[in-house]
Chain A
Amino acid sequence: MVALALAEQALSIAAGASLEIDGVSHAFDIDGKVLPVLDDVSIKVAPGEFVALLGPSGCGKSTLLRLVAGLEPPRAGSLREDGVPITGPNPSRVVVFQDPTLFPWRHVWNNVALGLEAQGILKSQRHRVDAAIELVGLSTFRNAFPHQLSGGMAQRVALARALVNDPKILVLDEPLGKLDSLTRITMQAELVSLWQRSGFTALLVTHDVEEALFLANRVIVFSDRPAKIKADIVVDRPYPRHRGDAHLAELRRHILGLLGLDATW
């Protein structure tokens, strides 16, 4: 416990940033045809809020995350972090992708150190890498290569690689999508406690309604492509949440209805 407390201290508690997505539209050129993916999306996320984005497969949620990360500029509209326009990637907004995409040629420790190394501050900040690995409970695997890790462990390393940068906004692109259901449930609980302790703003894309309701303050439901906001639902339940909560079950039925799945429920 002491080690964990120290680990948290080393990853200084960075307060989350606010995120404003203002009238954003985006499209892709595929074989000379314009394929619209986002249609006039506006979302305001308060500092420290946990927002889940739900929607049918391929509707453009992940594209929205790429825009938030600054990996691409939007075709129309603007995105701001704490009022500052987003023009490119920045370690204050870190993405955890569906695949862990660890660098196979680096040990766990060096994978986690990637961000600090890229920013040229690794030499003075090595303790932060140790702390982040400690935080996700993989200290014994610091010298393992990625191919020696299980899927859940690899995704934990990816999480540590993001958290070591003290992100103000953590962008989660279906980070638990490929894990088995048991690992998934464990990591959902871990994610909640990490978020509660660190105070970052979280933006999560998921297909799993239950996951969204278990984790998020707000669930935003998107329509089919091009994605439009269909509903913005506040989940006003204290943490840690109970999966059998009657109110959550009610919300779940409502959201599945919005996604056009009411016939089955």
Chain B
Amino acid sequence: MPTYSASDAVPFGAVGPAGELGLFRQLHVSASGLAAGLAWLAFGMSCLWWPDIGDWPRTEGVAITAFIIAAGIVLATTTAKWLGRAGAGLQQRAPWLLALGLFLTLWEVATAKFGWLPLPFFPPPQSIVEVYTDDLPKLLDSVLASVKLQLGGYFIGAAAGFLTGVSIGWSRGVGYWVHPVLRFIGPLPATAWLPIAFFTFPSSWSASTFLIALATGFPVTVLTWSGVASVSSAYYDVARTLGAKPSFLVLKVAIPAALPHVFVGLFMGLGSSFAVLVVAEMIGVKAGLGWYLQWAQGWAAYANMYAALIVMSLLCSGAITLLFKVRDHLLVWQKGVVKW
């Protein structure tokens, strides 16, 4: 399955005229880099050119930052040769920077300057920046609370799911008892347990941990199980004729062979646990990004909501990137794994 990421994009018009002198020969003004710089310049200009239709104290700061970014892009893409891999990476991403600059310009004009999009539902960029500068402590506390809750629940769920999956896959006896329970309870969305969990558990934190673990555990269990069950019997035959004991067959044959499946389960579990995390924080836990979103909505602080959403998406994407890094490291022996 081919996947694409921004770093694969081919830069267009990357070569500019080279100077006569040795020093200048190293400088290539790249068209895409220049265009991206201009887009950011346009964004900065759009902040200053027209007056704001509302009261946003960060407009000037945003404009100056945009100018600095514009200059940085042009400078870095021109001297890309000296910057090594970072320079090459930036050069490759120049079209994306261009698109981003244009998007921000359009956003700025459509909200802060002419109000084409209704306020306060569509806040301008500078009001979101304002959230990050003025409401940072509360936002960071929320991030910390979310990460703590998510990590705890996810690791408990992943570990339990992995062990259950291996046991079901390996032992007929365990499978006999656990499989029906799994079939009955597993497909139930973890959020359906929410009301029960919140009054049976001693704290909302432990209840949420349980729910996140549940949401993670089900896909991990099923995929680990199917991974262990689908290991070719030829591998076991080989290991047995070479003198392997049952413990060796489980630890050194079944588990490594099932690992690609396990990672699919871990990936799916991560996705569903995010959903549970946010819902649990919105309803029960009085902390975390879910709660922050809820709180912002209560105060009609829409800029705060967008700011929190951006942070949340960075965190979720980061978590998946991390998981895929671990997978790539453990499964180097596989051919053609999907890039994230």
Contact = CB atoms under 8 A, between A and B. Distances in A.
Contacts of B259: 105
Interface string A130-165: 000000000000000111000000000000010001
B164 to A, nearest CB: 22
Nearest to A66: B237
Contacts of B329: none
Contacts of A101: 232, 234-235, 237-238
B237 A71 contact: yes
A99 interface: yes
A79 interface: no
A105 B242 contact: no
Interface stretch (A6-14, A45-53, A115-123): A115-123
Contact of B243 (A97, A119, A171): A119
B257 interface: yes
By size class, the interface of chain B is: 20 to 34
Given A105-B259, A114-B242, A97 B333 contact: no
Contact of A115 (B243, B257, B335): B243
B333 A105 contact: yes
B258 to A, nearest CB: 10
B71 to A, nearest CB: 47
A240 interface: no
B245 interface: yes
A85 interface: no
B146 to A, nearest CB: 35
A203 interface: no
B244 interface: yes
A59 interface: no
Contacts of A145: 332-333
Interface stretch (B124-132, B248-256, B319-327): B248-256
Report whether over half of chain A's contact residues are helix, strand or loop; otherwise say mixed.
loop
B257 A118 contact: no
Contacts of A147: 333, 335
B226 to A, nearest CB: 18
Given A105-B256, A105-B333, A91 B243 contact: yes
A230 to B, nearest CB: 28
Contacts of A94: 241-242
Nearest to B249: A118
B333 A118 contact: no
Given A95-B237, A97-B237, A105-B256, A161 B333 contact: no
Interface string A79-91: 0000000000111
B243 A90 contact: yes
Report whether over half of chain B's contact residues are helix, strand or loop; otherwise say mixed.
helix
Given A99-B234, A101-B235, A161 B242 contact: yes
Interface residues of A, number: 27
Contacts of B237: 69, 71, 95, 97, 101
Contacts of A146: 333
Interface string B239-278: 1111111001000110011010000000000000000000
A239 interface: no
Contacts of B232: 101
A91 B335 CA distance: 31
Contacts of B243: 89-91, 115, 118-119, 165
A58 interface: no
Contact of A71 (B241, B244, B257, B334): B241
A117 B252 contact: yes
A21 B74 CA distance: 82
Nearest to B248: A118
A28 interface: no
A161 B237 CA distance: 14
Nearest to A171: B241
A168 to B, nearest CB: 13
B253 A103 contact: yes
Contacts of B244: 118
B245 A105 contact: no
Contacts of A171: 241
Contacts of A105: 256-257, 259, 331, 333
Contacts of B334: 104
Contacts of B256: 103, 105-106
Contacts of B239: 114, 118
B213 to A, nearest CB: 28
13 contacts: A89-B241, A91-B243, A94-B242, A95-B238, A95-B241, A97-B237, A101-B237, A105-B331, A115-B243, A118-B252, A161-B242, A165-B242, A171-B241
Interface of A: 69-71, 89-91, 93-95, 97, 99, 101, 103-106, 114-115, 117-119, 145-147, 161, 165, 171
Given A101-B235, A101-B237, A165-B243, 20 more contacts: A69-B237, A69-B241, A70-B241, A71-B240, A71-B241, A89-B243, A91-B243, A93-B241, A94-B241, A97-B238, A103-B253, A104-B334, A106-B256, A106-B333, A115-B242, A118-B242, A118-B245, A145-B332, A147-B333, A147-B335
